[in-house]
Amino acid sequence: MTTVVPTLKTSELVYPSADGEPVAETYDHLYAILTTLEVLKQYLADRRATVLANQYLYYAQGFSKLRVAPDVMVIFDVEPGGRDNYKIWEEGQVPKVIFEMTSPGTKSEDIINKKELYEGIEVQEYWLFDPRGEWISEQLRGYRLGEEGYELIRDNRSEVLQLRLEIEGKLIGFYREDNGEKLLIPDELASALQAERQRAEAERQRAEAERQRAEAESQRAEAERQRAEAESQRAEAESQRAEAESQRANELESLLASYRSQFGELSQDNS
């Protein structure tokens, strides 16, 4: 399926980057846009791709009024980073995936005009998300480009992004198909970081307590060694004293024997 986009050669044409309109109707819609933008930017950070939000997409060179501002769009095979606007003919790539955070006020534009446009320029996947469930009862509805145009996605899988999409309150939850891990939104990232810091601090404290226990055990062992050494020294001194006593007794015994041999038995009676 190929669509021919009109072109007009001009070097003076200005392509605006803003129209002064609000980014979203409500806080719920704005939060859904911003979280989807940040989650997908983090997911594709190591890819040659960019994720843009509420920026003009120009699809016809030379016609500055032929433009649309998707809530979130993902483009592959282009330089990463932001742009003031996106011109298909300059970048050479059509967005692969587009998300619109829809409401009753934008229903007609989203389901008719934008759907036809995105199908015509061959956006591979088009997702409509109704944060409040005001006109899409299931809140999330996706279309994938087929041979005959857009076909309803029935399993909430993005083949392009290789992600599974789930409704989580007023947000879209994104889960990797390769390992099942959820792509964390900023609030969840902050909570996970805090929990990781707490775990690291608890581990540091456990390691410090273990070090202190080991140090105390070493000190106790050293004290025990010193006590054993002192006991050994006392025993050695006692042994040496006993040996000295034995030697003195032997010497006295020898001296007494000498006296007896010379003077006979000595009497203790002086009368």
3-class SS string, 174-223? EEECCCCCEECCHHHHHHHHHHHHHHHHHHHHHHHHHHHHHHHHHHHHHH
Tell me which of 75-79, 107-111, 141-145, 261-265 is least confident: 261-265
Answer whether 98's CB lies under 8 Å from 123's CB.
yes
Among 53-57, 188-192, 220-224, 266-270, top mean pLDDT goes to 53-57
Model's pTM, two decimal places? Answer: 0.70
- Which residue would you say has higher pLDDT here, 216 or 61? 61
What does the pLDDT look like over 2-29, one tens digit per residue? 554 555 554 568 887 766 666 678 999 9
**H helix intervals, 137-185:** none
Cα–Cα distance for residue pair 153/119, rounded to 1 Å: 14
The predicted model gives 108-114 an average pLDDT of 97
Q: Which long-range contacts (CB under 8 A, 24 or more apart) does 161-164 make?
A: 161/40, 161/43, 161/74, 161/97, 161/125, 163/43
Q: Which residues make beta-bridge pairs with 182?
A: 175
Tokens in use for 38? 């940040």
89-93, 97-101, 164-168, 245-249, range with the lowest pLDDT: 245-249
> In this predicted structure, what is the pLDDT of residue 185?
84
Q: What is the pLDDT of residues 175-231, one digit of tens each?
A: 999 999 999 987 777 676 676 777 777 788 888 888 888 888 989 989 899 998 888
Q: Which of 25-29, 105-109, 127-131, 189-193 is the least confident region?
A: 189-193
CA–CA distances in Å: residue 225 to residues 99, 105, 212, 236: 74, 85, 19, 16
Residue type, 237: A
* Total residues belonging to the chain: 271
For residue 1, pLDDT beyond 60: no
In whole angstroms, what is the distance from residue 49 CA to residue 32 CA?
21
Average pLDDT, the chain: 89
pLDDT value, residue 4: 47
Judged by average pLDDT, the poorest of 43-57, 152-166, 231-245 is 231-245
Tokens of 247: 């030697």
151 close to 143: Cβ distance less than 8 angstroms: yes
pLDDT reported for residue 260: 77
- What gap in Å lies between CA 16 and CA 5, rounded to an integer? 19
Average pLDDT over residues 101-111: 97
> What pLDDT is attached to residue 192?
65
Mean pLDDT computed over 104-118: 97
How far apart are the C-alpha atoms of 225 and 207, rounded to whole Å? 26
Q: What pLDDT does residue 270 have?
A: 53
Domain covering 27-183 in this structure, CATH number = 3.90.1570.10
Query: If you average pLDDT over residues 45-56, what whole number do you get?
Result: 96
